[in-house]
Structure 1
Amino acid sequence: MKIKLSGHHVDITDPVKQYVEEKFSKIASHFPTLISLDIIVAKEHGEYEVEIRTNYEGSKISASGSDTIMYPALSKAAKKLDAALSHRKGHLKGKLHEKPTCTTPEIAHEIIQGMDLTN
């Protein structure tokens, strides 16, 4: 999985990159069709805000987290992203198990119900 990490008023250092790689390796193993993540870390008004965007199975998914410390903000955003991806995966899997629909016309059904089959 490709991770594009950028900072807005924040320097992205090697330990931060390593932390992000560790944090999102679990998500990459749970969702192997996930190709890339765009992560933006911003610091505004003394608070870190993390926004994550991705495309998963044809839909755009985003998650965000904020905290006064960068690492908990990354963790919150990762947790929200995992929940959103699980929700989307559930929608996709749920459509595979829809109830079968009746293929016979309703009129034929009514005719059979009205027939006297006791003879």
Structure 2
Amino acid sequence: MKINVSGHHCDITEAVKESINQKLSKVGSHFPTLIALDIIVTKEHGEYSAEISTKYEGSSIAVKGKGDVMYPAISQASKKLDAALKHRKGQLKSDLHAKPSCTTPEIAHEIIQEMDLT
């Protein structure tokens, strides 16, 4: 999985890149079909925000985490990404299962009315 990290009004050091790789390694192992993640870390008005976007099974997924410190913002975004990917995977799995068909005929209430239960 390729992780593209960029910074807006803040420096992205090797320590930050290593922290991001460590946080997102679990996501890469749980979802092996992910090809790339784009991460933008922004600092505005003394608050950091980390935005992660990717494509997974035909849909675009984007999450955002905010915080006063950079590392908790990245952590929050990675947790949201994990939850969003699990939700999407659940949707895809539920589409594979056959929906149950109605086992009673549509005129079952009429048949019961005609029965002599005395």
Relative to the length of structure 2, the TM-score reads: 0.84
Identity %: 62
| Aligned pairs, number | 106
Alpha-carbon shift at residue 98 of structure 1 (Å):
2.6
Q: 1:86 aligns to what?
A: 86
For the residue of structure 2 that corresponds to 1:63, the secondary structure is strand
Distance (Å, rounded) in 2 between the aligned partners of 1:24 and 1:101: 41
1:8 is the counterpart of 2:24: no
Q: C-alpha displacement at 1:29, in angstroms?
A: 0.3
Alpha-carbon offset, residue 96 of structure 1: 1.0
Match of 1:28 in 2: 28
One-letter amino acid matched to 1:98: A
Partner of 2:47: 47
Letter in 2 for 1:71: Y
User: Hey, what does 1:69 align to over in structure 2?
Assistant: 69
Superposed structure 1 runs of 4+ greater than 6 Å apart: none
- Where in structure 2 are there 5+ consecutive unaligned residues? 112-118
Unaligned runs of 5+ in 1: 115-119
Deviation at 1:101, TM superposition (A): 5.1
Please tell me the root mean square deviation across aligned C-alpha atoms, in Å: 1.7
For residues 57 and 24 of structure 1, the distance between their equivalents in structure 2, rounded to whole angstroms, comes to: 18
The amino acid that maps onto 1:6 is S
Q: Distance in 2 between matches of 1:58 and 1:101?
A: 29
Is 1:99 the counterpart of 2:105? The answer is: no
CA distance in 2, matches of 1:23, 1:69: 16
